[in-house]
Amino acid sequence: MAVNPLPEESGPGGSAAEAEEVPLRGYAVLTGTYVTATALFALGFRRSGRKLPARVPPFDVLLLGAATYKASRLLAKDKITSLVRAPFTRRTGTASASEVMEEPRGHGLRLATGELLACPFCLAAWVGTSLVCGYAVAPRATRLAACGLGAITLSDWLQYAWSITQERAEG
């Protein structure tokens, strides 16, 4: 159920109808889920007796960043992962390469989930946190998975660079 955070009159830049579509309760559920999952991980990690890494090498930060970028885009924009988003979004078009444009649908929690799943920037917090948790528990395995996602990221950038170079050469 969507909550109307504004009075009946429209606020700057939006109508009252748009304000009614702000799924604050859905956001609260998703935020609570994120915070609860992160807290449960931290509690479980502490009880396990494991120690956090004393430091994270800069290369690993870059690697985790590239992996977070790619995993977030794969989840939010890839054609193949549309099946994950389908209950919460509707396709509005295609973008470059194998990416699609989708908009959230429904009301309340369904709308909030659609907004999360269609936004790579929004998903990055969830994906990044998951990768960092994985890094704390199994750094070698997480680093290996991040290397795979990082390699795909580099490949994507090279594909775009090649396309731009080819377009310029053909004039």
Extents of the domains making up the chain: 16-170
**Which residues, 6+ apart, have CB-to-CB distance to 2 below 8 Å?**
20, 21, 22, 23, 24, 25, 26, 107, 108, 111
Residue 96's pLDDT is 76
Q: How confident is the model at residue 9 (pLDDT cuts 50, 70, 90)?
A: very low
Convert the pLDDT of each residue in 126-143 to its tens digit.
999 999 999 999 999 999
Q: How far apart are CA 24 and CA 89, in angstroms?
A: 18
Q: How far apart are CA 137 and CA 47, in angstroms?
A: 13
Residue 111's pLDDT is 98
Nearest to 89 by CA among 25, 81, 97: 81
Token look-up 């704390």 returns 136
Mean pLDDT of all residues in 44-73:
96
Q: How far apart are CA 40 and CA 139, in angstroms?
A: 19
Mean pLDDT of all residues in 151-168:
93
**Which residues, 6+ apart, have CB-to-CB distance to 142 below 8 Å?**
64, 131, 134, 135
Q: How confident is the model at residue 21 (pLDDT cuts 50, 70, 90)?
A: confident
Q: Which amino acid is at 65?
A: G
Helices 120-137 & 58-77, crossing angle to 10 degrees? 130
Length of the chain: 171
The C-alpha angle 139, 85, 65, rounded to 5 degrees, equals: 30
**Which residues, 6+ apart, have CB-to-CB distance to 99 below 8 Å?**
73, 77, 78, 79
> Is residue 105 scored above 50 in pLDDT?
yes
Residue 3's pLDDT is 47
